[in-house]
Chain A
Amino acid sequence: MAIRFNDPIITLAHGAGGKAMRDLVEGLILPYFDNELLAPLEDQARVPLGELTALGDRLAMTTDSFVVDPLEFPGGDIGTLAINGTVNDLAMSGAIPRYLTCGLIIEEGLEVGLLKRILGSMKQAAAKAGVAIVSGDTKVVQRGGADKLFINTAGIGVIPADADIRASRAQVGDVVIVNGVLGDHGAAVLNARGDLALDVELRSDCQPLNRQVQALRAACPDVHCLRDATRGGVATVLNEFAESAQVAIRLNERDIPVRDTVRGVCEILGLDALYLANEGRLVAILPAEYVQATLSALHACGDEAHVIGEVIPSPAGRVLMKTVFGSERIVDRLVGEQLPRIC
């Protein structure tokens, strides 16, 4: 008989290992993630190796924890983030993401309606990215022990034999490409917290990027570096590339794509969109000869595509910005989080 879950809120009982917990897992969570590998409900998923080895010669493996406040925001929620974040971390190696695990840490008192919406988002995001959630865990903690809901996802994917994508491979003469406007996610979450009282339309850019990565690789057989520009934004990713490859990266301020509303938020708060988080933006570094092909490939995925800079020899390890006035300045890493300025 199918188990029905009708409780309105999550209580400590749902994490205690008894019937209430079984009801939560089998009555509420499982139906969203339903797939063959998960269905036996053993303590571990048993993944056939054959289909993996057919795809490539290395396993990519990653984990990420998600603690966003608020849980829901325009353009996504913690569920979409949890799937796309791990899918994207896998994809940035060139890997084809396959299987994810999902750990839920729930603060007692969480509304079940909200949890359902988030699980629904996870289901949708997983389907879109072509991955299956094959193992999971649920914990319920006392009020104050967590902030409503934390999600951890881990994932594996398979790296095709011909992919060699690493931060240290940025080479002088390469170009820097991004697949859309920057800072939408960071600005949307900031605005969704509600304390800015700004009347603007901002949506997170949250999306899986595995399709884009495959398209990029099809257009350019030798993509040198790839990273999704999440926390710390594009500026942080580029600093990582420059340091790792001991090259300099020069951005052209005119070419940095930022939506007007996001620029407006940044102007008002004294923030810089280059440091705002994105959840559906990749930064690619690849040989200049493939620019046209890769831009077209990204367009074909429905994304924008912009060349924002180039790799130059020096100063090694630094990121520079050529300003709209033709002068240059350093784009450094942030010290901590970006804090709004007073005036």
Chain B
Amino acid sequence: MNFIMPHLPVLQVAIPLIAAPICVLFTFGGHRKVAWLFTLAVSWVCFLIAGALLSRVLLDTDISYAIGNWPPPFGIEYRVDPINAFVLLIISGISAIALPFARLSVEKEIETDRHILFYTSYLLCLTGLLGVTITGDAFNIFVFLEISSLSTYVLIATGVRQDRRALTAAYNYLILGTIGATFFVIGIGLLYMVTGTLNIADLAERLQPLSDNRVVHAGFAFIVIGMGLKLALFPMHVWLPNAYTYAPSLVTVFLAATSTKVSVYVLLRFLFTVFGPSYDFVNLTFEFVLLPLAIVAMFAGSITAIFQTNAKRLFAYSSVAQLGYMMLGVALSNIPGLMATILHIFNHALMKGALFMALGCVMYRLGTVSLGSMKGLGRSMPWTMGALILGGLSLIGVPGTVGFISKWHLILGTLEAGFWPIAILIVASSLLAVIYIWKIVEVAYLEKEINQEKTLKEAPISMLAPLWVLVILNFYFGIDADLTTWVARNVAETFLGGES
């Protein structure tokens, strides 16, 4: 054990990375179930490692791991502090919960001869997301970002068996995602030009005297835009609805819960660790770019969601709105606001994970998630729809759910910043969420059942169990928010600590 412990940071990424090519080997003999079990096992190992890392950074100090013993800032450094340990836990945790759900869902939605390759891509995607989060090297972020993005495009395209539009969704995401990533790498290049370093901690130090440098400003702008594209910040969200709608259910669950969150994390990392609100141009960005865009996102996302007829697309647009909340917290750049963002990274993963998983169950039985086909479904699939409603309540932000915790902090943040009209806007946009959730309630419970012959059964237990685990977590962390708020406060204080 003592031998492994110091190497946990690298193992976190190396294990899924090595596992991916191994997984391909199962093609010989076509062991689909083995491939799934293998992926499941890898996910759980990652989850345990992330748990160990988080507990270590929370109880002890930050971990710095030099890859290949090349000391930072020359070599690549993996750096674990509370915020990214927290994000690592979210990614691997969602993966660990989603994979038990995956087997039947994948069996149903993806062509049989592609399963093993699907799991391989999934492992690569996991690697990429974990890598982006853990690394302390700016260029390394780009590399892992592309690993995760490329595998994501593949994963989305596997939805082609359900709907051919998965292909165009993947293609559009590929174009926009690549532009985003390239913008990001241009930004990194510009920063490297003036500082000569790629290490994030080192960058932060060397940028201090350069706050008036035009190249730094340009680099900053490229990074914000690049990450804005990746995290679907309104109006750069156009790739997201189709990608979420036509991807296989498992992929939607995983992406909605993790991938945009990772981009939010990277943005946070650059905004606060590398630059920080003490720079004028960062503050201006907060006030005149992120704040208005976040508010528009909250409303545009929610209002568009109301008019959707496909449940997955509805929640995809709701994700755009929720990302608006996260960006709003960033833009406030005070402790409660930033706490709200960090909490919402976690909380939104829980609720969207649960919601898309419930839709995955619907997909498994019905083969479609259009609202028109879900009429009266509350009676034939009570557990699935019950979970959907509870997840929806959490999305609205009903007290007792995680959604409430993040909104509460967000409102506190706006009031502390003196923007009380924005507090009212937050509340108003929550009311829009009530409308689109209630649209589903009415369809599911008050419409005449289509399935009169009772041929439709509840989803199998192996899908319901992970779904309900997430639903229960939604409520558990809504009532016992000690751990999450503690981490969030810790992180927010570190991020804003350099300000004074």
Q: Do A and B bind each other?
A: no
Contacts from A to B (Cβ < 8 Å): none
Contacts from B to A (Cβ < 8 Å): none
